[in-house]
Structure 1
Amino acid sequence: MKKVFIAIVLILPLHLLAIEQKEIYTQATAAYKAKDFKTSYTLFSKLYITNLSDANLNFMFGISAYEIGNYNMALAAFERVEMLEPANLRNKLEKARTFYMLKMYENAELTFKEVLKNPLIPQNVRKNVELYLSRVIKEQKKSFTYVSLNLNTLYDSNVNSAPIDDTYNIGITEYATAKEKSDGAVETFASIVNIYDIGEANGFALKNSASIYLKRHFEEDEYDINYFSYMPSLLYKYTKYTLEMVGGVDAMTLGDRSYLQTLSLMPRFEYEHTKTLRSMTHFRYQVKDFKQNDQKDLNANHYELSYGLQNILSPRSYVQVNITGVLERKKRGSRVDVDYDEYKFDVAYANQLTSIYGAELYAQIRKREYNDYSTLFNSRRDDLAKSISVGLSVKMLENLLLRLNARYDRVDSDQDVFSYEKQTLLVGVIKTF
């Protein structure tokens, strides 16, 4: 009898422990199926030590650990499953994804390629694996170069920004304003961007951007533009943060004359609040140097502070708003059309409607107040500008888009000679490399 009692005393705790573990397993499995991975991870972590040979439990434990960001624990779980079930394809895939999250890119590449060797995997799974593999290969690269070429033809209803009214007054005297000149033009834009990682992908990088813009009018060639820009920068990225210090050198000709050169410095900051929401802000200081002697009094220091918020609404669409404040201050002279304070608000919406067609909407309102009093007009100039545009893109070939755009601009000024409006229609193609 005594021996039986001792046996019961020894066996009962083990029996109760088995019942308790079964209840925990049931709760953990229910939480896993409900995608409550934080709870399932907590519960499975109480079980896996005594169930190292249970492939199903360890797989669910690994998924739970992965989903809450505990990638080291997830990798250990998937490796235990692989020892128990070497042919488990789903486990290999999850293990490869975990390698990727741990930045073990060589291991991730080898494991993804091993998964792709299986001819029985579904086509949608194969595409996802190929996408991951391309990301892995990209992460291991140090240098990335992007090239874009644009060729547009456009119609501008008011090339010379002629005033809306036919006349304007100075005192009691009435003067005729310039007549609108409408014309067509051909635009060419080319840009090249190179990013070179210094060390790991989340770290420092050197970025160099160069662009050329050419505009040739059919008749009004005095408004032809040549514009050149070079912007080197040092960039630092850490998880959700991106910091960048950007320098800038610009040169512009108008007609056949050298017109403007600028130097700028722009620190910018970007923060990802979530996977779909991010903030962007920058401050830019720019020195403007006009090249013609009769325009030297336009030389100015330009100060700009901007904040933007972008929300990715879906994998195909986003909306972005920007608020910008600008100050310009003359470097010499007494011209009254140089010093101003400006505030502008713009919003952009883009939607890739289908795999072929995309649409864009853009609107801006801008308030500019000049600081100096004009004795000619007996007032300080105050402008309110409004712009709106609608665009459509059509995918013609891989990396080749047809672009259509219609834009309306209007400026209303308390000095009527500076009020104008124009319509612009554009058709062009964009090729990326």
Structure 2
Amino acid sequence: MKKRFIALALAVPLHLLALEPKEIYTQAADAYKAKDFQTSYTLFSKLYMTHLRDVDLNFKFGISAYEIGNYEMALAAFERVEMLQPSNLRNKLEKARTFFMLKMYEDAELTFKEVLSNPLLPQNVRKNIELYLSRVIKEQKKSFTYVTLNLNTLYDSNVNSAPIDDTYNIGITEYATAEEKSDGALETSISVVNIYDIGKANGFALKNRASIYLKRHFEEDEYDINYFSYMPSLLYKYTKYTFEMALGADVMTLGDKSYLQTLSLMPRFEYEHTKTLRSMVHFKYQVKDFQQSAQKDLDANHYELSYSLQSILSPRSYIQANITGVQEKKKHGTRVDVNYDEYKFDVVYANQFTPLYGAELYAQIRERKYDDYSTLFSSTRDDLSKSIGVGMSVKVFENLLLRLNARYDKVDSNQNVFSYEKQTLSAGVVKTF
């Protein structure tokens, strides 16, 4: 016993032995914040045995152990946190990373998949998990594929986006507007993602994503949608930087007719300022090709530039703000409803309150200004739209979630025939394979 005490005394600086636990924790937290993980590990190791139920202390102790290569101790700390706080997504991610470093590849894959099944997960975090998974599957000498299936029933109070006003004027003549059509619909969407690592850690990965979206109205079948999308991309990650170059091809039918085909190019960049703050930028160029002769003059080139700032508020919640500028330019024709500039700002907040329940809030404001003067309405069209939504997820079984959503949209236009509002309610299930 005396030898053990001497060894411990030699391992810990003498000036730390006289410190009170509160002082030790303060110094450990300061060292952790400064990324001096060797010091924070040494200090936290003096405290954790008497603070086994302290989530914050054990999580920071686990991170410190991970960063200095003591993966067994890190895993034990993350497992303690999981017992105390099962809904802590950040802890699950760190636990999965630790499994990988311990070459426990099957456990790492299962844990990453568990996090991926959460619909509240931000898209950029999802991409980072996919990159980690690509390394896991490379070690297992296989490619990784996961499938997400959504089945929803939906109610739309204004399927045809009918105007708010009963009449509109052209010159001195008054015309009646279309009546609102409310209807229910069944929605089905399937997304298949395959990812394969083609480099070393913090290197390249190939990602292929194919998705199908089907919408079938109960009565208004002229608004039925079939949508098919394929997006291959090349991902590259280096320390705090992530870059993605994506190509896209989309095909859409409306009712029983072919409606739209598009091709797109989208580079995306992400920078991790801190563990809880990230910036994301993407540019998108898209060519729109309408398939019916009546819509050919809608053919356009679409340009989009977006900046997003994401803050991880806690291991279970985040908030993200997005600012996007859009421009569309017609390829031919004289239609006045094609060329426009658009600016939109939206915010999303998500919180996984418990292992079973999560919620999401969404709000957006968007202004669209058209370039061309309308002689019909004696003005240039200007639309202002506002949207707000709330969603809730309930875990039913492993990898099976119940989703409830409600959304309200309103568009105010200086040409009142384009002003409308609608409410949308949906309920469905999400299954990840």
TM-score computed with the length of structure 2 as normaliser: 0.74
- Structure exhibiting the larger radius of gyration computed from Cα positions: 1
Partner residue of 1:350? 350
Partner residue of 1:108? 102
Q: Is the 8 A contact 1:403 1:427 kept in 2?
A: yes
Partner residue of 1:396? 396
**Deviation at residue 372 of structure 1 after TM alignment:** 0.4
Alpha-carbon distance in 2 for matches of 1:351, 1:168: 44
Q: Is the 8 A contact 1:319 1:348 kept in 2?
A: yes
Alpha-carbon distance in 1 for matches of 2:234, 2:137: 20
**Deviation at residue 104 of structure 1 after TM alignment:** 11
Question: Mapping of 1:182-221 within 5 angstroms?
Answer: 182-221=182-221
Alpha-carbon distance in 2 for matches of 1:366, 1:357: 31
Alpha-carbon distance in 1 for matches of 2:188, 2:308: 28
Q: Is the 8 A contact 2:298 2:335 kept in 1?
A: yes
**Deviation at residue 245 of structure 1 after TM alignment:** 0.3
Residue by residue over 1:130-189, the C-alpha shift from the partner in whole angstroms, topping out at 9 and shown as x without a partner, is xxxx98956734632221000000111110000000100011100010111111100000
Residue by residue over 1:103-151, the C-alpha shift from the partner in whole angstroms, topping out at 9 and shown as x without a partner, is 99998338xx9xxxxxxxxxxxxxxxxxxxx989567346322210000
**Deviation at residue 67 of structure 1 after TM alignment:** 4.0
Alpha-carbon distance in 1 for matches of 2:303, 2:405: 30
Partner residue of 1:369? 369
SS in 2 for 1:109: coil
Partner residue of 1:10? none
Match of 1:25 among 13, 22, 40: 13
Is residue 139 of structure 2 the alignment partner of residue 140 of structure 1? yes
**Deviation at residue 355 of structure 1 after TM alignment:** 1.5
Q: Is the 8 A contact 2:145 2:193 kept in 1?
A: yes
Q: Is the 8 A contact 2:75 2:99 kept in 1?
A: no
Distance 1:28 1:208, change over 3 A: same
SS in 2 for 1:297: helix
Larger RCO of the pair (alpha carbons < 8 Å, separation 6+): 2
TM-score computed with the length of structure 1 as normaliser: 0.74
SS in 1 for 2:13: helix
Alpha-carbon distance in 1 for matches of 2:300, 2:287: 6
Q: Is the 8 A contact 2:137 2:143 kept in 1?
A: no
Partner residue of 1:177? 177
Distance 1:25 1:276, change over 3 A: closer
SS in 2 for 1:178: coil
Residue by residue over 1:28-68, the C-alpha shift from the partner in whole angstroms, topping out at 9 and shown as x without a partner, is 556897254668968x99xxxxxxxxxxxxxxxxx99x949
Partner residue of 1:50? none
**Deviation at residue 27 of structure 1 after TM alignment:** 2.1
Distance 1:91 1:338, change over 3 A: closer
Partner residue of 2:247? 247
Amino acid at match of 2:150: N
Alpha-carbon distance in 1 for matches of 2:197, 2:359: 34
SS in 2 for 1:273: strand
Alpha-carbon distance in 2 for matches of 1:106, 1:356: 26
Question: Percent same amino acid at aligned positions?
Answer: 70
Amino acid at match of 1:156: D
Is residue 231 of structure 2 the alignment partner of residue 237 of structure 1? no
5+ residue gaps, structure 1: 1-20, 46-62, 79-88, 95-99, 114-133
Alpha-carbon distance in 2 for matches of 1:107, 1:295: 55
The CA RMSD measured in Å over matched residues stands at: 3.6
